[in-house]
Amino acid sequence: MNTNINMTNQEYSDYVDKKAKNSPIIKNVALAFLVGGIICMIGQLITDIFKNFGFSKDDTAIITSISLIFLGAFLTSINLYSKIGKFAGAGSIIPITGFSNSVVAPAIEFKTEGYILGLGANMFKIAGPVLVYGISSSVAVGFIYWLIKLFM
Amino acid sequence: MKIGKQTIKLENTPKILQTSSMVGPKEKQGPLSIYFDLDTKDIFLGEKSFEKAESKMLELCILNLLKKSSTKAEDVDYIFAGDLLNQCISSGYCMRNLGIPFFGLYGACSTFCESLTLASLFVNANYAQKVVAATSSHFCSAERQFRMPLEHGNQKSPTAQCTVTAAGSAIVVPKDFSISGPYITYVTPGKVVDYNITDMTNMGSAMVPAVYNTLATHLQDTGRTPDYYDAIVTGDLGVLGSEIIVDLFKKDGINLQGIHADCGALIYNHDMQDTHCGGSGCGCMASVFSGYFFEQLKTKKMNKILIIATGALMSTLSSQQGESIPGIAHAVAIENEA
């Protein structure tokens, strides 16, 4: 009797893919749309309120960002954002609240290894790549913009 | 005595005198709740970190084992233990307080059968009179080592499994020991088998080929058929892995339906506890065997079982480097009649 399964790697991999349950894509996309939309509405609400108080357009934009970042951090700290994330997926990862969550979550987790090498070193474990490539690409685009301006 | 390709027949049939199990809150809410000796509502167990909590859980589990078997720590000759954390710190730090000669093992989630195999071989060879095998895992310490921080809001794949917070231990003694217990008759240490599955969220499927190899070899070496056993129990293939292993054997004309059980599939109520494909981790087979299956053997509801702990031998580094997940499975046959 053969003691190995009677399949090649590729056959086994295809077989597993066929057996495995897929993520419920339509449900996930719908929930992401809904929750992402609600988060944006909250942002809009904050903007409108501060505009009403007579703040300038630039100031309200900054205030809105700061408020949403605080909200994300606060909900993370009371262990609610992970539950929202489980429900909403990309709907709560993509907005700025999700960025805040991705910084605060490792900060909480790695506090046990101390403030410098634990919290400090690991805080940007998830957000780090976004910052590195986000900033790099904005510099590249800025450079191209500058070049175009030079000749136009 | 080695028989066949890789099985060892334990001619002196050492026996399992006693077992002990401890679980966390989520496992306590599962369907096997009543079979576990100890449980904790606090996932920190009063400690400052998850790693310390896991270490303490293992220690409490072993102390309970010693109490249940009326054994003093100094009477235990050796202990074989392991866990999932880097450098096996849960076991290593736990042993500081016990003062028992210690072998630290790593076989990922297959560690329980690995330690039970070695413990029974030591007793079988008459090198020792009392040897303990123990393993643990903790959801939070595993999650931070292998996956994302706990508070990070993300979704898991439907094939993902949940590392159990649990510890289990067993004490092995020679067959002429005054108190009765089930005997360990055969052990089949497994080979590393890799069918190039790379998805870290589908480890059950990655480990199936290793289980197939070990089980088929065991049956071939011993000349037994699956229905010789009352149950063939795998460690943490989960719901999907269990389905696949039964299906693959069926394709080759061997029926495991009704004989096969999986600790990862048994430990949670998947629909209600949102555990996707079930439990995993070193503590999964350790606690389910020590709690549920040992009880079945003791009460003679089952008389012959084969336990096969399954491990996925990857790390986060190897996964990031694009490596596939190698699987391993070790089998131990436990019977009420020697």
pLDDT band (50, 70, 90) for residue B332: very high
Q: Do A86 and B155 touch (CB under 8 A)?
A: yes
Instruction: Check the CA dihedral B200-B202-B205-B211 and report its sign.
Output: positive
A7 in contact with B at a CB cutoff of 8 Å? yes
- B235-281 per-position pLDDT tens digit: 999 999 999 999 999 999 999 999 999 999 999 998 888 888 999 99
Q: Do B152 and A106 touch (CB under 8 A)?
A: yes
- B70-93 per-position pLDDT tens digit: 999 999 999 999 999 999 999 999
> What pLDDT score does B338 carry?
76
Q: CA–CA separation, A73 vs B281, rounded Å? A: 31
Whether the CB-CB separation of B154 and A93 falls below 8 Å is answered with yes
> What pLDDT score does A23 carry?
87
- Domain assignment present for residue A147? The answer is no
Answer whether residue B154 shows pLDDT above 90. Answer: no
Structural domains for chain B: 2-173 (3.40.47.40), 183-335 (3.40.47.40)
Min Cα separation A105/chain B (Å): 5
- Domain assignment present for residue A1? The answer is no
> What pLDDT score does A1 carry?
61
Range of the domain at A59: 24-126
User: Residue holding tokens 């028992």?
Assistant: B100
User: Residue holding tokens 């495995």?
Assistant: A20
Min Cα separation A145/chain B (Å): 36
- Domain assignment present for residue A6? The answer is no
> What pLDDT score does A3 carry?
87
Q: CA–CA separation, A26 vs B11, rounded Å? A: 59
- Domain assignment present for residue A135? The answer is no
- Domain assignment present for residue A105? The answer is yes
Mean pLDDT, chain A, rounded, equals 93
Q: Do B152 and A105 touch (CB under 8 A)?
A: yes
Min Cα separation A127/chain B (Å): 11
Residue range B183-199: average pLDDT? 95
Residue range A41-45: average pLDDT? 95
Q: Do B244 and A108 touch (CB under 8 A)?
A: no
- Domain assignment present for residue A68? The answer is yes
How many domains does chain A contain in total? Answer: 1
Identify which of A12, A89, A105 has the shortest CB distance to residue B151. Answer: A105
Q: CA–CA separation, B49 vs B111, rounded Å? A: 23
- Domain assignment present for residue A98? The answer is yes
> What pLDDT score does B189 carry?
97
Q: Return the HEC string of chain A.
A: CCCCCCCCHHHHHHHHHHHCCCCCHHHHHHHHHHHHHHHHHHHHHHHHHHHHCCCCHHHHHHHHHHHHHHHHHHHHHCCCHHHHHHHHCHHHHCCHHHHHHHHHHHHHHHHHHCHHHHHHHHCCCCCHHHHHHHHHHHHHHHHHHHHHHHHC
Q: CA–CA separation, B304 vs A42, rounded Å? A: 62
Whether the CB-CB separation of B236 and B285 falls below 8 Å is answered with yes
- Domain assignment present for residue A90? The answer is yes
Q: Return the HEC string of chain B.
A: CEECCCEEECCCCCEEEEEEEEECHHHHCCCCHHHCCEECCCCCCCCCCHHHHHHHHHHHHHHHHHHHCCCCHHHCCEEEEECCCHHHHHHHHHHCCCCCCEEEECECECHHHHHHHHHHHHHHCCCCCCEEEEEEECHHHHHHHHCCCCCCCCCCCCCCCEECCEEEEEEEECCCCCCCCCEEEEEECCCCECCCCCCCCCHHHHHHHHHHHHHHHHHHHHCCCHHHCCEEEECCCHHHHHHHHHHHHHHCCCCCCCCEEEHHHHCCCHHHHCCCCCEECHHHHHHHHHHHHHHHHHCCCCCEEEEEEEEECCCHHHHHCCCCCCEEEEEEEEECCC
Q: Do A28 and B155 touch (CB under 8 A)?
A: yes
Answer whether residue B63 shows pLDDT above 90. Answer: yes
Residue range B196-224: average pLDDT? 94
Residue in B with minimal Cα distance to A124: B149
User: Which pair of structure tokens corresponds to residue B302?
Assistant: 């089952």
A104 in contact with B at a CB cutoff of 8 Å? yes
B158 in contact with A at a CB cutoff of 8 Å? yes
- A55-109 per-position pLDDT tens digit: 999 999 999 999 999 999 999 999 999 999 999 999 999 999 999 999 999 999 9
% of chain A with per-residue pLDDT over 70: 99
Residue range B176-189: average pLDDT? 95
B148 in contact with A at a CB cutoff of 8 Å? yes
Answer whether residue B120 shows pLDDT above 70. Answer: yes
Answer whether residue B284 shows pLDDT above 80. Answer: yes
